[in-house]
Amino acid sequence: MTYLILISSFVALIYGADMLVRGAVNLASAFGVPTLIIGLTIVAWGTSAPELVVSLTAGLSGEYGIALGNIIGSNIANILLIGGVAAILLPIVTTASGLKFNSVLLVLVSGVLALMVLYGYLNPWVGCALIAAKLLILYRSFRAAEVPEVAKADGINPPRAAAFTVAGMVLVGAGGYFLVDAAEKLALLWRVPPAIIGLTVVAIGTSVPELAATIAAARQKQGDLILGNIIGSNLANILIVFGFTALFVPGHVPYPGAYAPVLGLMMISTIALLSFVLLKRRLCWRTGSIFLGTYVIFLLAPYLLNGPYS
């Protein structure tokens, strides 16, 4: 039964992500909204819903390893796994100036996340500040967005496009939730430690919506939508998922120093993504292969079996 739920969840994620991207792109075209904004808001927030559900659920259950591992691991997976797959499928050259601001901002808030985890305490007031910062970022993105070119649509009228978008979000959220639930049961069955579940199984599981949305966007050759989704999802993971986790589940982080290696990898991968955006360098299959190779090494690294991860 668990394997059937796992397969069904993948199907729901793939179809849901395709509907989400298709509906969002058509809405962008109908109302003259740039693709970047759609990627940073509707698509990014819709595909980040599983991370929010999982982290809050894990935090309320006292599983800080799963909650934090989900957020950190998802951000690493979004860049190295999803960014790698995207670069292999579709050479990406960013054209939206708004990505520069958001990528720089991602590096800064990633640093804040690292400092908070290493400090060893999740403060509810800091959680409120992170959520407020996300709202300000969205406001700034809408005000600063340049609209030289909007998304290419396939002729779906706005009401139907809105229905596609909402249905896609529902399928993505439900598929991600049940996928993680099934993966956790399998991991427990195979006797995998909880914190490793957070950094690997749960992180990959909650990143599957972003992966599915990225593949769908690559099929439609929407490069800005792909990068907007990755950057927007990582921002949402820190400012919304981590923010709400700190707000509703404050407390001390067990063994904060043991998170230093994965936090370091998160920062390095985020800075690497920033360099490509700022220099307008082409993300091609070679870069994608390096990203994927680094992610495989991360999954196999022996330090994951030390400290709280054992």
- Each residue of 70-100: pLDDT tens digit? 899 999 999 999 989 888 887 776 666 667 8
Mean pLDDT of 106-121: 92
More confident residue, 301 or 149: 301
Q: What is the CATH number of the domain that holds 149?
A: 1.20.1420.30
Q: How far is CA 284 from CA 68, 183, 270, 289, in A?
A: 31, 31, 17, 9
pTM of the full structure? 0.76
CA neighbor of 229 nearest in space, from 46, 15, 19, 28:
46
Q: What pLDDT sits at residue 53? A: 75
Domain, as residue range, for 19: 2-309
- Given a contact cutoff of 8 angstroms between Cβ atoms, the answer to whether 93 and 305 are in contact is no
Mean pLDDT of 54-74: 83
Total of domains in the chain: 1
Q: What pLDDT sits at residue 147? A: 46
Residue 252 neighbours by CB under 8 Å, 6+ apart: 120, 121, 122
